[in-house]
Amino acid sequence: MSGIFNSELDSILEGSSRSFYLSLKELPRAIRPQVSLLYMLARTSDTIADSEAGVTDELLEALESYNEFSQGLTERSPDLTSIAESQGNKSEASLLKKVEEIVSKIGDFSESDQTAIRLCLGIIIGGQILDLQRFSSDESSILSLEGDEELDDYAYRVAGSVGEFWTRMSLDHLFSFKEENKESELFEKGVKFGKALQMINILRDIPADLSLGRCYIPSRRLAEHGITPKDLLEPSSMDVFRPLYNEYLDLTDKYLTSAIQYIEMLPHSQFRLRGACMLPVIIGKRTVSILRGKNVLDPSNRIKIDRSEINDVVKKVVLAVPFKGYSKKILRE
């Protein structure tokens, strides 16, 4: 996937996008730059929000400054030097150091694409700001979301909105529906597609989030099972937590079913688009399957699909996309 921006930015994109880079490589050229840029912009704000450098107020100020700059509300770029220097990932550090150049790339696109990029980025950053504010109290304590409505809102802001953006780009540049209701249905399933991937992140990364004083499993739901966010620090709590955990895995599976339906709504001729969507769904389904059999509260049980299995999935998808039957089979197996 060379030549999207320039060799330096392309290298930063690959180094910071992890498994999502597999999907970016598959996207049709007509929307690959827009989606790649949104990813870099959102990854920049995510790196700010998750930084261990600086107190919460400083990170909030940096995020708000970055948001104003990326939205075109000010020409003054944020100074992210100190946050960049604290990053362990070189590509993520480079994102922060290159913020002015990366944001300037928004201007390479049409007015409608610029609006869509900024709208989605604003929703994502809004979610990250809300997240920092919500978890800004005493670092020695563990704070949690209160109810499922907060969890759903968070999943929409940081991932469901990306499903909307992806769909907007596809409809603007790749294909259209004659029936208006099909377009709204695709947007609805696109949001659930994004939420599925975020729920997998949340359900996989519970120990890592707890170590930062964050619990995305709502406290009201935990209380129904007689446990608290602090109890999740103990791997021995998994037996009590398992019924609720399985409920959230079931919800994630429902979202993944919507993601499969999303792919099946795409024109068969859109091989690259369908392939780019199939990869995270198949990997996501495999991850959920593994999570069902693991004690996710044990930090030593960090779930990660190994590279060889991912490579096998890529090969399978490449072979499947020209054929409706085979595509349907590997998505639903």
3-state SS class at 26:
helix
CB 42 within 8 A of CB 124: yes
CB 321 within 8 A of CB 234: no
Instruction: Tell me which of 136, 165, 191 is where a domain ends.
Output: 136
Per-residue model confidence as pLDDT tens digits over 287-330: 999 999 999 999 998 888 988 999 999 999 999 999 999 999 99
Report residue 214 as tokens. 């964050």
Instruction: Tell me which of 121, 136, 151 is where a domain ends.
Output: 136
Q: Residue with structure tokens 């075109």?
A: 72
| pTM tops 0.75 | yes
3-state SS class at 143:
strand
d(CA 84, CA 93): 4
d(CA 94, CA 83): 11
- Give yes or no: residues 93 and 152 share one domain: no
CATH for 98 = 1.10.600.10
Instruction: Tell me which of 79, 108, 136 is where a domain ends.
Output: 136
- Give yes or no: residues 257 and 124 share one domain: no
Residue 125 domain boundaries: 1-136
CB 128 within 8 A of CB 153: no
Per-residue model confidence as pLDDT tens digits over 93-130: 999 999 999 999 999 999 999 999 999 999 999 999 99
Helices (H) and strands (E) counted in the chain, each on its own, are 17, 2
